[in-house]
Structure 1
Amino acid sequence: MTDGSTPDRTRSRQVLDIVTVVLLSVTAVITAWCGFEASKWGGEMSIAFSQASSARVQAASAESTAQAARQYDLTIYTEWVLAEADGRQELVRFIEARFTPEFAIAFDAWVAEDRGSRGPFAMEEYVPPGAVEAAELNARADAKFDEALVNNQRGDDYSLLTVLFALVLFFAALSQHQSAEWRRRTFLALSAVLAVVGVVIVLTFPIKI
């Protein structure tokens, strides 16, 4: 008498084979996608680090310009203080005519306050050329550095997912070499669960094309 369960067992194996092939195929595609995204975010990280470095160099140049301007203004101001102390008003006016525009604004504000503060350089109005640019460039460098760190983490996240999907491939392949059907179903179910978890996680990640 022919065992009636044989066709059912054969059909069950065929279904498991189809599920395994589909699972392996989909996982291989998603793994490749994760590798691609990890590479893209790694590139974005490098670009952001480069931009941060460039902005930092430009900020240093702007700070040097501001420092040179401060030194020039300080030298002129020192001569003004000496001339005023000696009562040489003609020399005082001569020096005042040679104030830089930035220092002249702060100097006028200082005089308007009846010289109540510690000097023109302590006034908020004194902004030497390059100071604003240096502050903006330093802020841009900090922002780009933070962006690079975020992009690096995104690349790492995608790389970790490739490991998870590698486990999916491992258990799916392992299920094909099990003689007992219950073991095959167990490994295949474990593989499917990991695949679902991985897909749910990858859907929450940002995409860079």
Structure 2
Amino acid sequence: MTQDTPQSPAPDQPTADNRSVTDRFLSSDGRMSRSDRWVEFLSAVLLALATIATAWSAYQSTLYGGDEAAARGASNAATVKSAHYAGEAVQIRGFHAILFVEWAAAVSQENQELEDFLYQRFPPALKTASDAWIATKPLVNPDAPSSPFVMSEYALEEDDLAEQWQATAEVELAKANQADETSDRYVLLTVLFASVLFFGGIAGKFQSQIIDMAMLVIGSIIFLAGLGILLTFPMQ
């Protein structure tokens, strides 16, 4: 009578313990449950939405970056023009001062011919201011202005142009700064939506449905928060 000896499983045949481990860690060996399919579907939807939002944010950031460059260039050009007209005003004012001093010297020397000659050659701005200054009787009135150059009647077109271009430069600079700030905000949104891609991408990769759903929930919350912020931003 022979005794039956226990047969050991073949090396290539998985045991019950091996099958339980495999079932736990390799979900592909079993059929996907309905909840798993929902996780995969929602993950795909979240990834698609996050991809679109990321691309849109990057696109808007690029547009506002271009606006910032254009406005900053316009501001620099306006600043150059303002400096140009301001320099011209200084030169003209210096010429007027020399002409006025020569005229005043002719008056003090009672050289009527030279006085009339110089006065007739006063530019309009200097002549208007000089007439208003003479009307204040500066020789006998201690409250009279010290010269026609400090009076409101003395106005140069170049000074006005310099102020106008400087104001334009400040407006364009403000536009550039605003566009730069908006571009930076869209860059931050791009990073935010990229994190949604991460959470949506790893959802469904775990063997725990709780963890998978947690990744989806976190990604969805971040996406909705980013979308809410996006809707408050200016768009082109």
User: For the Cα contact (< 8 Å) 2:60–2:235, is it kept in 1?
Assistant: yes
Give the residue type in structure 2 aligned to 1:38.
Answer: S
Structure 2: how far apart are the matches of 1:127 and 1:178? Answer: 79
Structure 1: how far apart are the matches of 2:130 and 2:179? Answer: 47
Which residue of structure 2 lines up, in the alignment, with residue 55 of structure 1?
78
What is the number of residues matched between the two proteins? 200
Give the residue type in structure 1 aligned to 2:161.
Answer: E
Which residue of structure 2 lines up, in the alignment, with residue 35 of structure 1?
58
Give the residue type in structure 1 aligned to 2:188.
Answer: L
Give the residue type in structure 2 aligned to 1:144.
Answer: E
Aligned alpha-carbon RMSD (Å): 1.1
Alignment of 1:38-117 (within 5 A): 38-115=61-138, 116-117=144-145
Q: Which of 125, 129, 141 is equivalent to 2:169?
A: 141
CA deviations on 1:71-111 (whole Å, 9 max, x unpaired) are: 11111101011101111122212111100011111112212
Structure 2: how far apart are the matches of 1:59 and 1:38? Answer: 31
5+ residue gaps, structure 2: 1-31, 139-143
Structure 2: how far apart are the matches of 1:23 and 1:177? Answer: 15
CA deviations on 1:154-173 (whole Å, 9 max, x unpaired) are: 10000000000011010111
Which residue of structure 2 lines up, in the alignment, with residue 15 of structure 1?
38
SS at match of 1:20: helix
Structure 1: how far apart are the matches of 2:137 and 2:41? Answer: 90
Which residue of structure 2 lines up, in the alignment, with residue 188 of structure 1?
216
Give every structure 1 segment of 4 or more consecutive aligned residues whose post-TM-superposition deviation is greater than 4 Å: none
Cα offset, 1:113, TM superposition: 2.3
SS at match of 1:127: coil
User: For the Cα contact (< 8 Å) 1:37–1:158, is it kept in 2?
Assistant: yes
Cα offset, 1:13, TM superposition: 1.7
User: For the Cα contact (< 8 Å) 1:52–1:145, is it kept in 2?
Assistant: yes
Structure 1: how far apart are the matches of 2:81 and 2:126? Answer: 23
User: For the Cα contact (< 8 Å) 1:117–1:123, is it kept in 2?
Assistant: yes
CA deviations on 1:7-39 (whole Å, 9 max, x unpaired) are: xx8222222221111111011011000000000
- Amino-acid identity (%): 30
Cα offset, 1:138, TM superposition: 0.8
User: For the Cα contact (< 8 Å) 1:51–1:144, is it kept in 2?
Assistant: yes
5+ residue gaps, structure 1: 1-8
More helix by share: 1
